[in-house]
């Protein structure tokens, strides 16, 4: 690859009124907590969120112990919590289509408390609800009323055990029988069993089933159907077998099941016929010219689920960071003398490991607000699928990595279930691989980027070099150019690796997956940053500039080898980065408790006490 | 910092008979599994390990289900498993002092199965046993016989809730009463409660207690005492209160307790008097001139515990890698066509994420063999404390990070408890913070390195540059020089940061902790590599050279920004590294199942089936 060496002289010392100017001064220690709260909560959702907070604070079901509960009792408790919440009217079954701000907002708030609840509600509202609302028509409105208050629970039978992320490969069939005007839902092989179906083992009345629609031997591809699983007494209907998926690393409040259908007959009208339908006599009619297009349209609504999942990460991480930071302020260990032990928060390592994820979590949340706005538009941008996939992947990896950091930052007390981080960590872990394995999602994003028309605008290249590294780096325009250029070069690099391969196109792409993931990160880092800067320009709430700069430098440091070897940053500038990060962590620490206050986390979401040792003799 | 630019021309194309020569050819696909097994098991321990494997394979208690067991039943099962193992005679209570090879070997094997068992035995044999064997004298031999077969269980009361890693700050007191010739053990404050004491809540008869020895108002510092917790019927003795630490993220088969002593009287002879003693009339006699020296000697034996802990990481990680790699060979997902799905192992990303930790785990194991040999010597090297601390920190972080990778590599099936990775992951998590928080241990290592006399030998500097990056990097001498030089420069850097600080020496060191951790890694990476090369020279077992090179390049990539900005590697050479890593991962994949075979993991340690879905309808 030809090296790019276009040295630019950049000097920004004099930007005294710029967005960056405050970075050069000690941090303003009194931030406006209310303004910052609205920023993080979003203009569209903050009132819904406050209502959800009030509910969590006061509802008795949210005060019951769930630590160490056996699986059966835990599942019952989570069901009851979900029912209480659904009955509160704070969320509606139609929200996934009609008020995504409310829906996303309440999921985030429930995730501050416990991911089982938002996962169970997510299956019902986003997945079952999404299928009904987006793929159904007038004839499926009848499900809404009872589903709205969880009088009936719905689940979502897409994944098969033999076909995880590769939904097109599912084997379940729906043969149409014109003589009775019914579809026959069948699991033809062991690998066609629906697996991991949340809510199915104990509670669901209905499920939407994804199956190959077959008429007179012709397979029209994957379509969605409503199947009733249980009668009014909760008994599983004949020809349907449901088994418990068993104990899991986390989310043991969710009754995941495996489902087998043995020629289950359902009425013709149970086909969700928004895009394609079958007439009584068995004629297939579709808005699309091919099964693959119908498949794409059928899958499209669920992209909102990938956005919603990030809310689970956001809630869990904010509460866990709050627990760890609170603990770091009260827990003392070591000091200049044996008698003068200091709080952990005074340690540079503790500041480094907690402030960087705090900053990133806020930036990710701001970006998800943007995605939610895009999803709320009648015509969504073409990028929406790639970006929901990308943020789901990078947010869940960020979440799992930093829940671990929070656990370790609290030492042994972080290991005790009563102190909550353990549960968050285990519950969130699955997010990395469900709703699309993260590595697969990053490949989808890379494929989207590879397919974009090449920009004809030749961007000027950037090379950050000079003695005053701080001024060069504390400059959002320079950061933007670094991120833009990295994305362009990573894209070009991936294209070259694939085109230089002597193997089949399938193998060429496969051999380059690690580079696809790198490109995915380069793209997502860039757009998260761009949106943060847009937000900052509209609304310079303190300490947003500090958080953006901290996260930017951490992002650069994570890929520092690349930035330097590709001559975007000089050695001299690169060497300054760890020191600037440490300084920024120290500054952000000063306002960290105010940031936590702006999260307005109900006390019953957190550990019983800030020192995590409420239960001494 | 002054930049070092000493360009060296290095060309090794012609080393056809060198250790590296095989790296330039396709990997030899038939490795000698038996030779490789002895290498990984160690010459000293492999027979003990085989005996332990045979026991695990056949003992009925090791075939009972523990998945999803309630805490009380799980604790009982683990106790019974420990009793069975202790009765087998495969390990002796005196091993910690007299046959550390056997002890370390069996811990590793038990960790292949379940970390609860080796943790519970570890507390009894390493901690309680270590105290008796190393700090006790003839008068304490009486505890050995029953402890040998677990007829009596011992635990270890060092940690207090207010004083985790900072043992010198503990508050428990042992006042000597000459009138009755007794010590009075007391917990004077809530924060002095002994906490996390494994085995104490249900099973332990004895504990060793660390307390401040006080005679006539004079505090002689921390000493160890034997205290009886329970009578022959298992009832807790008067004036001792024990409470359950409760449900934890993992290790719920261990009965951790919190202990409070209310003026508990014990005989004078229960002081473990190897170094210091109190005469009947209350005269303190010590081999040491100061309490701090006595404290250091008292703590020294437990350094073997830090080595033993890495065995827990090793066992858990080897089984989990085996599960994930086996799964990747049988699980198909996606492919060039919908009908032609390919096994996950064919994906470059899967090879990358599983082969790199496989290589590192083996290299770490080889290094721990070396440490074990050092511990077995009558006179241990002065570095032993720092190196046991360092390997405990980096092995446990490696373990936790890659158990996560294994979990994700198995998708949803990795999340099911029945498939074992979940349990390993949760059980091992605590290793990062117990027996010394990793960040604290890395600081101890850094302090050791800072205190070493400066080498007067001026090493020639290295700068890897040239067109043939592969030949430059596939050269162990070059790698060695890179690692040596990084360590020297990291040490110099840390010294400069501390000496340039305008703050107190305590604050100066505190502000530099992230750099201490970096130095710790640089040192440990170097010595792990050095030992691997020594091993390779003595015994060139295939594919050791490949594993060393793979791990070396991954290590360089992890700190690539530093290597490039500090001019040890040119941009051109740096750019080749990800491609060489991918090639090596692909080569190692070819022999990965043979490597797994050499681990000789009993089937009952692994998942019920390789495809992780044994329980379909």
- Summarised one tens digit per residue, pLDDT across range B99-119 is 999 999 999 999 999 999 999
Give the pLDDT confidence of A531-563 residue by residue, as tens digits. 999 999 999 999 999 999 999 999 999 999 999
Please check the confidence at residue B130 and state whether its pLDDT lies above 90.
yes
Nearest-Cα distance to chain B for A144, in Å, is 30
C-alpha A328/C-alpha B317 separation (Å) is 31
| Sign of CA pseudo-dihedral A496, A500, A505, A507 | negative
Cross-chain Cβ contact B578/A407 below 8 Å: no
The mean pLDDT value for B356-381 works out to 97
Give the pLDDT confidence of B138-180 residue by residue, as tens digits. 999 999 999 999 999 999 999 999 876 678 889 999 999 999 9
Which of A27-31, B484-488, B591-595 bottoms out in mean pLDDT, i.e. has the lowest? A27-31
Cross-chain Cβ contact A575/B1 below 8 Å: yes
Residue B352 contacts A where some CB pair is shorter than 8 Å? yes
Residue A434 contacts B where some CB pair is shorter than 8 Å? yes
Nearest-Cα distance to chain A for B127, in Å, is 18
Please check the confidence at residue B9 and state whether its pLDDT lies above 50.
no
Specify the pLDDT at position B612.
Answer: 93
Nearest-Cα distance to chain B for A317, in Å, is 17
A456 Cα distance to chain centroid: 33
What percent of chain A has a predicted confidence (pLDDT) above 90?
90
Residue whose token pair is 């340039």:
B500
- Distant-in-sequence, close-in-space partners of A252: CB < 8 Å, separation ≥ 6: A71, A74, A75, A116
Q: pTM above the 0.80 mark?
A: yes
C-alpha A615/C-alpha A608 separation (Å) is 9
Binding annotation of A for FAD: 159, 198
Please check the confidence at residue B16 and state whether its pLDDT lies above 70.
no
- pLDDT band, very low/low/confident/very high, at A3 (cuts 50, 70, 90): very low
Please check the confidence at residue B10 and state whether its pLDDT lies above 60.
no
Supply B181's token pair.
Answer: 């010739």
Question: What is the rounded (10 degree) CA torsion for A122, A125, A127, A129?
Answer: 180
- Distant-in-sequence, close-in-space partners of A41: CB < 8 Å, separation ≥ 6: A49, A50, A105
The mean pLDDT value for A171-180 works out to 98
Residues of A in contact with B336 (CB under 8 A): 504, 506-507
Residue B188 contacts A where some CB pair is shorter than 8 Å? no
Task: Please tell me which of the candidates A249, A260, A348 has its beta carbon nearest to residue B415.
Answer: A249
Give the pLDDT confidence of A320-368 residue by residue, as tens digits. 999 999 999 999 888 888 778 899 999 999 999 999 999 999 999 999 9
Q: Is B5 exposed, middle or buried (0-12, 13-18, 19+ CB in 10 A)?
A: exposed
Please check the confidence at residue A164 and state whether its pLDDT lies above 90.
no
Residues of B in contact with A169 (CB under 8 A): 338, 341
Residue B429 contacts A where some CB pair is shorter than 8 Å? yes
- pLDDT band, very low/low/confident/very high, at B357 (cuts 50, 70, 90): very high
C-alpha A101/C-alpha A108 separation (Å) is 11
Residue B576's DSSP bridge partners are: none
Task: Please tell me which of the candidates B349, B433, B506 has its beta carbon nearest to residue A513.
Answer: B349
Specify the pLDDT at position B6.
Answer: 36
C-alpha A263/C-alpha A186 separation (Å) is 5
Please check the confidence at residue A10 and state whether its pLDDT lies above 70.
no
Using CA atoms, how far residue A582 sits from A19, A355, A362, A557, in Å, is: 21, 10, 19, 12
C-alpha A120/C-alpha B18 separation (Å) is 60
The mean pLDDT value for B558-587 works out to 98
Please give the helix or strand (H or E) that residue B210 lies within, else none.
strand B206-215
| Cβ count within 10 A of residue A459 | 10
Task: Please tell me which of the candidates B258, B438, B561 has its beta carbon nearest to residue A557.
Answer: B561
Cβ B409 vs Cβ B327: under 8 Å:
yes
Residue B581 CB-half CA count within 13 A: 27
Please check the confidence at residue A68 and state whether its pLDDT lies above 70.
yes
Please give the helix or strand (H or E) that residue A236 lies within, else none.
none
Nearest-Cα distance to chain B for A39, in Å, is 32
Domain annotation for chain B: domains and CATH numbers: 1-30+467-538+543-590 (1.20.140.10), 34-148 (1.10.540), 154-293 (2.40.110.10)
Please check the confidence at residue B3 and state whether its pLDDT lies above 60.
no
Residue B219's DSSP bridge partners are: B214
Mutate one of B198, B399, B577, B617 to test the A interface: name it (highest A CB count within 10 A).
B617
Binding residue per annotation — B411?
no
Q: Which of B435, B487, B493, B587 is catalytic?
A: B435
Residue B290 contacts A where some CB pair is shorter than 8 Å? no
Residue whose token pair is 């299956």:
A123
Cross-chain Cβ contact A246/B418 below 8 Å: yes
Nearest-Cα distance to chain B for A241, in Å, is 9
- Examine residue A543 and say whether the peptide bond preceding it is cis (omega within 30 degrees of 0): yes
CA-closest candidate to residue B592, choices B33, B156, B195, B155:
B33
Give the pLDDT confidence of B39-98 residue by residue, as tens digits. 999 999 999 999 999 999 999 999 999 999 999 999 999 999 999 999 999 999 999 999
C-alpha A522/C-alpha A100 separation (Å) is 28
Averaged confidence pLDDT in chain B: 94
Nearest-Cα distance to chain B for A340, in Å, is 10
Question: Which residue has better confidence, A52 or A459?
Answer: A52
Cross-chain Cβ contact B617/A243 below 8 Å: yes
Cross-chain Cβ contact A561/B561 below 8 Å: yes
Cross-chain Cβ contact B561/A566 below 8 Å: no
Cross-chain Cβ contact A510/B439 below 8 Å: no
Task: Please tell me which of the candidates B67, B71, B560 has its beta carbon nearest to residue A561.
Answer: B560
Supply A225's token pair.
Answer: 């159907």
Residue B195 contacts A where some CB pair is shorter than 8 Å? yes
Please check the confidence at residue A565 and state whether its pLDDT lies above 50.
yes
C-alpha A583/C-alpha A553 separation (Å) is 11
Mutate one of A446, A497, A561 to test the B interface: name it (highest B CB count within 10 A).
A561
Cross-chain Cβ contact A578/B514 below 8 Å: yes
Residue whose token pair is 């697969």:
A440
Give the pLDDT confidence of B245-269 residue by residue, as tens digits. 999 999 999 999 999 999 999 999 9
Cross-chain Cβ contact B341/A400 below 8 Å: no
Specify the pLDDT at position B457.
Answer: 72
Q: What is the 3-state secondary structure (H, E, C) of B448-463?
A: HHHHCCCCCCCCCCCC
Using CA atoms, how far residue A172 sits from A186, A212, A258, in Å, is: 6, 6, 13
Specify the pLDDT at position A5.
Answer: 36
Specify the pLDDT at position A166.
Answer: 75
Cβ A451 vs Cβ A402: under 8 Å:
no
Q: What are phi and psi of A22, to 5 degrees?
A: -65, -20
| DSSP string computed for A379-425 | S--TTHHHHHHHHHHHHHHHHHHHHHHHHHHTGGGGGBGGGSHHHHH
Residues of A in contact with B241 (CB under 8 A): 617
Three-state secondary structure call for residue B91: coil
B243, closest residue in chain A (CA to CA):
A617
C-alpha A156/C-alpha A198 separation (Å) is 7
Pairing of strands B257-261, A257-261: unpaired
What percent of chain A has a predicted confidence (pLDDT) above 70?
97
Q: Please identify among residues 84-143 of chain A the ones whose CB lies closer than 8 Å to any CB of chain B.
A: none
Lay out the sheet containing A194-197: strands in order across: A194-197, A257-261, A240-244
| DSSP string computed for B469-515 | HHHHHS-HHHHHHHHHHHHHHHHHHHHHHHHH--S-HHHHHHHTHHH
Cβ B315 vs Cβ A479: under 8 Å:
no
Residue B537 contacts A where some CB pair is shorter than 8 Å? no
Residue B297 contacts A where some CB pair is shorter than 8 Å? no
Residue A480 contacts B where some CB pair is shorter than 8 Å? no
Residue A244 contacts B where some CB pair is shorter than 8 Å? no
| DSSP string computed for A453-464 | PPP-S-PPP--B
Residue B408 contacts A where some CB pair is shorter than 8 Å? yes
Question: Which residue has better confidence, A3 or B322?
Answer: B322
Give the pLDDT confidence of B365-376 residue by residue, as tens digits. 999 999 999 999
Give the pLDDT confidence of A76-124 residue by residue, as tens digits. 999 999 999 999 999 999 999 999 999 999 999 999 999 999 999 999 9
Catalytic positions of A, please?
A: 435
Residue A354 contacts B where some CB pair is shorter than 8 Å? no
Specify the pLDDT at position A9.
Answer: 38
C-alpha A10/C-alpha A470 separation (Å) is 12
Residue whose token pair is 């729906």:
A174
Specify the pLDDT at position A16.
Answer: 55
Give the pLDDT confidence of A396-407 residue by residue, as tens digits. 999 999 999 999
Residues of B in contact with A417 (CB under 8 A): 246-249
| Cβ count within 10 A of residue A245 | 22
Cβ A344 vs Cβ A331: under 8 Å:
yes
Give the pLDDT confidence of A495-535 residue by residue, as tens digits. 999 999 999 999 999 999 999 999 999 999 999 999 999 99
Please give the helix or strand (H or E) that residue A221 lies within, else none.
strand A218-228
The mean pLDDT value for A294-310 works out to 92
């Amino acid at each position: 690859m030809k090296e790019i060496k276009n040295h630019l002289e950049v000097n920004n010392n004099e930007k005294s009124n710029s967005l960056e100017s405050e970075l050069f001064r000690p941090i303003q220690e009194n931030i406006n907590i209310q303004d910052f709260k609205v920023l993080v909560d979003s203009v569209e959702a903050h009132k819904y969120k406050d209502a959800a907070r009030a509910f969590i604070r006061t509802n008795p079901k949210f005060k019951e112990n769930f630590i160490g509960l056996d699986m059966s009792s835990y599942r019952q408790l989570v069901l009851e919590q979900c029912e209480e919440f659904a009955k509160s009217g704070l969320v509606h079954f139609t929200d996934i289509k009609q008020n995504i701000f409310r829906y996303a907002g309440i999921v985030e708030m429930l995730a501050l408390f416990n991911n089982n609840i938002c996962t169970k509600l997510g299956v019902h509202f986003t997945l079952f609800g999404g299928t009904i609302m987006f793929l159904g028509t007038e004839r499926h409105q009848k499900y809404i009323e009872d589903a709205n208050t969880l009088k009936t629970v719905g689940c979502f039978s897409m994944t098969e055990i033999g076909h995880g992320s590769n939904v097109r490969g599912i084997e379940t069939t729906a043969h149409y029988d014109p003589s009775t005007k019914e579809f026959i839902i069948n699991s033809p092989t062991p690998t066609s069993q629906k697996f991991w179906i949340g809510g199915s083992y104990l509670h669901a009345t209905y499920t939407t089933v994804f199956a190959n629609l077959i008429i007179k031997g012709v397979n029209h591809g994957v379509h969605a159907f409503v199947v009733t699983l249980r009668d009014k007494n909760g008994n599983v209907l004949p020809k349907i077998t449901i088994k418990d998926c068993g104990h899991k690393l986390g989310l043991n409040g969710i009754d995941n099941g495996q489902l087998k259908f043995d020629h289950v007959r359902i009425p013709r009208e149970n086909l969700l016929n928004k895009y394609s339908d079958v007439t009584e006599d068995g004629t297939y009619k579709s808005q699309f010219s091919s099964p693959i297009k119908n498949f794409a349209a059928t899958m499209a609504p669920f992209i909102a689920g990938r956005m919603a999942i990030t809310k689970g990460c956001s809630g869990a991480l904010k509460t866990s960071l709050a627990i760890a930071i609170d603990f770091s302020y009260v827990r003392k260990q070591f000091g200049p003398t044996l008698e003068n032990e200091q709080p952990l928060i005074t340690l540079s390592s503790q500041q480094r490991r907690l402030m960087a994820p705090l900053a990133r979590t806020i930036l990710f949340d701001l970006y998800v607000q943007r995605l939610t706005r895009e999803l709320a538009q009648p015509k969504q941008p073409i990028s929406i699928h790639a970006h929901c996939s990308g943020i789901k992947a990078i947010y869940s990896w960020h979440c799992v990595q930093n829940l671990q950091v929070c656990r370790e930052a609290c030492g042994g007390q972080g290991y005790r279930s009563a102190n909550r981080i353990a549960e968050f960590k285990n519950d969130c872990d699955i997010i990395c691989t469900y709703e699309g394995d993260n590595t697969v999602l990053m490949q989808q994003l890379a494929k989207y980027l590879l397919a974009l028309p090449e920009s004809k605008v030749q961007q000027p290249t950037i090379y950050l070099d000079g003695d005053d590294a701080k001024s060069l780096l504390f400059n959002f325009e320079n950061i933007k150019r670094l991120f833009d250029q990295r994305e362009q070069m990573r894209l070009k690099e991936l294209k070259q690796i694939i085109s230089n391969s002597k193997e089949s196109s399938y193998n060429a792409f496969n051999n380059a997956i690690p580079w696809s993931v790198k490109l995915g990160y380069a793209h997502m880092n860039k757009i998260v940053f761009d949106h943060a800067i847009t937000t900052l320009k509209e609304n310079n709430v303190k300490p947003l500039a500090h958080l953006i700069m901290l996260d930017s430098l951490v992002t650069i440091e994570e890929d520092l080898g690349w930035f330097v070897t590709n001559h975007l940053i000089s050695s001299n500038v690169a060497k300054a980065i760890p020191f600037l990060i440490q300084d920024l962590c120290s500054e952000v620490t000063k306002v960290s408790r105010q940031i936590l206050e702006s999260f307005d986390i109900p006390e019953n979401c957190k550990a019983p006490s800030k020192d995590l040792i409420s239960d001494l003799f």
